[in-house]
Amino acid sequence: MSRIIVVTSGKGGVGKTTTSAAMGMGLAKKGHKTAVIDFDVGLRNLDLILGCERRVVYDFVNIINGEATLNQALIKDKRCDKLYILPASQTRDKDALTLDGVEKVLEELKESFDYIICDSPAGIERGAHLAMYFADDAFIVTNPEVSSVRDSDRMLGILSSKSKRAENNETPIKEYLLLSRYNPARVKLGEMLSVEDVQEILSLDLLGVVPESKAVLNASNSGTPVILDEASDAGKAYADIVSRYLGEEVPQRFIYEKKKGLFGRLFRG
């Protein structure tokens, strides 16, 4: 039974595409056949983050318009043969997506994939709406600051009222909170909202915290999903998140500041 996951946030720049790429790679590496779809038509980014920008021939809109088949457009990842990418069209806009077209593509993907990750564009308009409409699960990516939290809250409202599941009165979309760009030191100084603050406002279960990390930018620049940088904080955090999503019990990390060892204390700075 395949599941459609939407990675969404409302606000832009919080880490949706980074999360989509990392989750896609993480699930694929665990042996699940996974497709990641870029819904950000006109502002295509996912291909860059996954490092397949030079292999894009056909895109999502081509399939919807019947100009290519799904197999022609899907790009197989070179590092993991269970991961496929469906890039967005860069020359079109969100109006090129239709509800029927999206449904057809998702139905076809469901036949052969275990997980289908929809990387939502920012905002709450057409692109974001279509990305979440057919979802079974939702990853709400939030940064620990007030505007991001409010936008996430708005998005949660839309998930619970305007999705296919909501409209058909089915079991609601399962929502997971993913707190990214978290910096425990700044939380301690009161410059950032804490995990508890965000959870209290959103009343959601926390899937995981991704610490603010240089590794994320490096990974994006090199076209490698950050989850493959196994030594980095962010890579470990995403690995935990994938495991937790798959039902494994993994304790939360990166929420509190690491205690500095003796050397750390001696050479504080």
CB proximity list for 106: less than 8 A, separation 6 or greater: 4, 116, 134
Please report how close the Cβ of residue 209 comes to another protein at its closest, in angstroms: 21
- Whole-number Å distance between alpha carbons of 84 and 258: 36
Please report how close the Cβ of residue 123 comes to another protein at its closest, in angstroms: 13
Of the two residues 46 and 124, which places its CB atom closer to another protein in the complex? 124
Task: Note the residues at the interface with another protein (CB under 8 A).
Answer: 150-151, 153-154, 156-158, 160-161, 201-203
Of 6, 86, 93, residue with least CA distance to 43: 93
Of 189, 176, 200, residue with least CA distance to 257: 189
Please report how close the Cβ of residue 65 comes to another protein at its closest, in angstroms: 32
Of the two residues 160 and 243, which places its CB atom closer to another protein in the complex? 160
Vertex 147 angle, CA 131 and 116, to 5°? 20
Please report how close the Cβ of residue 156 comes to another protein at its closest, in angstroms: 5
Of the two residues 43 and 201, which places its CB atom closer to another protein in the complex? 201
Of the two residues 31 and 172, which places its CB atom closer to another protein in the complex? 172
Of the two residues 169 and 249, which places its CB atom closer to another protein in the complex? 169
- Tokens for 157, please give them: 């409202």
Q: Please give the C-alpha separations between residue 162 and each of 25, 101, 107, 152, 157, in angstroms, as whole numbers.
A: 29, 18, 19, 15, 8
- Whole-number Å distance between alpha carbons of 27 and 247: 12
Of the two residues 24 and 127, which places its CB atom closer to another protein in the complex? 127
CB proximity list for 221: less than 8 A, separation 6 or greater: none
Which 8-state DSSP code applies to residue 232?
S
- Whole-number Å distance between alpha carbons of 182 and 76: 32
Please report how close the Cβ of residue 150 comes to another protein at its closest, in angstroms: 6
Q: What share of the chain is helix, strand, coil (3-state, %, to 5)?
A: 45, 15, 40
Of the two residues 52 and 173, which places its CB atom closer to another protein in the complex? 173
If phi > 0 it is left, if psi is from -120 to 50 it is alpha, else beta; for residue 230 that is alpha
